[in-house]
Copies of this chain bind each other. A is one copy, B any other.
Amino acid sequence: MEKPYVIGMDMGGTNTVFGIVDTRGTVISKSAIKTSTHPDDVNLYINDIYVELSKLIDAAGGIDKIKGIGVGAPNGNYYTGNIEFAPNLPWKGVIPFAKLMAEKFGVPAALTNDANAAAVGEMTYGAAHGMKNFIMITLGTGVGSGIVIDGKVVYGHDGFAGELGHVNVMRNNGRLCGCGKSGCLETYASATGVARSAREILETSTKDSLLRNIPVDIITSKDVYDAAIQGDEVAKEIFNFTGKILGEAIADFVAFSAPEAIVLFGGLTKAGDLILNPIVENMEKNLLPIWKGKVKVLFSDLKEADAAVLGASALAWEL
């Protein structure tokens, strides 16, 4: 008998979410652990997953019901099953993660970039349903991307295509990125980038702001959002700056693959029009005439964690 379930797992810089998914794409159960509890040993991290996930597997009828595990992870390589040199994860170098998971659980495992997995989820169940050319950009702890051309995720020559969080958006005095470079998109357009922008603006201006009630070192993107919806001008300026950088970068991405839409996903999208308006305005300003007014910018309409879990799980059906 065909096994009725797959496991989808989304590894983020902060949290790792996993769930059991049925053939219809329903997440029937879900749990999560912190990603960085064991920075020195990935096997202890896998053990934490095993403990939590085994509860869900048992409730679903045991490991015999599970066809395989699909993993979305930063710098996950679809071709090799390795996580290689991921700047936002605690484990350095090359981690044969798909192999380790398969050995631990006794079922096959496949792996891709977390954002590629989210793109597959979005194409199958979400805002990009029916689209053959779109770019998914995940705005979380970092900035990830999944590029879909002619209905297929672009993996490139080596399996690592779609690292749009690390294109340069500031050649001079750009912010230092976790990857070792400076001026990467993700140092500006991620949740942590918004917090850095807040600190910079508060420290270099004397403008009044609700954000001055919070110690500058612990301001988060959510604090900026909370201030902005109360009309705080500095907070709105921070979203305008973030949206400008992202919109300008997106215009260059359009010049590459001429997508029908850009789908945005992740924590920053909770800012709604505060971030969407400056993105669209600055994208349009920087598009070639042939694309002006033609490229949709959409927010994911899947529940934030589900898109990545569903996308990752889709990999497992193909095992």
- Which residues on the B side are within 8 Å of A166 (C-beta)? 255, 288
The residues in A between 137 and 180 inclusive whose CB is less than 8 angstroms from any CB of B are 147, 149-150, 152, 154-164, 166-168, 170-171, 179-180
Q: How many angstroms between the C-alpha atoms of A251 and B169 in the bound complex?
A: 12
A-B pairs, top 9 by smallest CB distance, nearest first, are A156-B258, A161-B258, A157-B260, A133-B157, A167-B252, A163-B255, A85-B289, A160-B258, A161-B257
- So how many copies of this chain end up in the complex? 2
Instruction: Verify if A317 is at the interface (C-beta below 8 Å from B).
Output: no
> Do A152 and B154 touch (CB < 8 A)?
no
> Do A256 and B181 touch (CB < 8 A)?
no
Instruction: Verify if A29 is at the interface (C-beta below 8 Å from B).
Output: no
Of residues A152, A163, A256, which shows the largest number of chain B Cβ atoms within 10 Å of its Cβ? A256
Instruction: Verify if A259 is at the interface (C-beta below 8 Å from B).
Output: yes
- Which residues on the B side are within 8 Å of A155 (C-beta)? 258
Q: How many residues of A contact B (CB 8 A)?
A: 44
The residues in A between 235 and 262 inclusive whose CB is less than 8 angstroms from any CB of B are 248, 251-253, 255-260
Instruction: Verify if A75 is at the interface (C-beta below 8 Å from B).
Output: yes
> Do B248 and A171 touch (CB < 8 A)?
yes
Instruction: Verify if A214 is at the interface (C-beta below 8 Å from B).
Output: no
Which chain B residue shows the least CB distance to A131? B157
- Which residues on the B side are within 8 Å of A159 (C-beta)? 258
- Which residues on the B side are within 8 Å of A179 (C-beta)? 288-289
Contact pick for A290, options B75, B168, B252, B257, CB 8 Å: B75
Which chain B residue shows the least CB distance to A252? B167
Which chain B residue shows the least CB distance to A177? B288
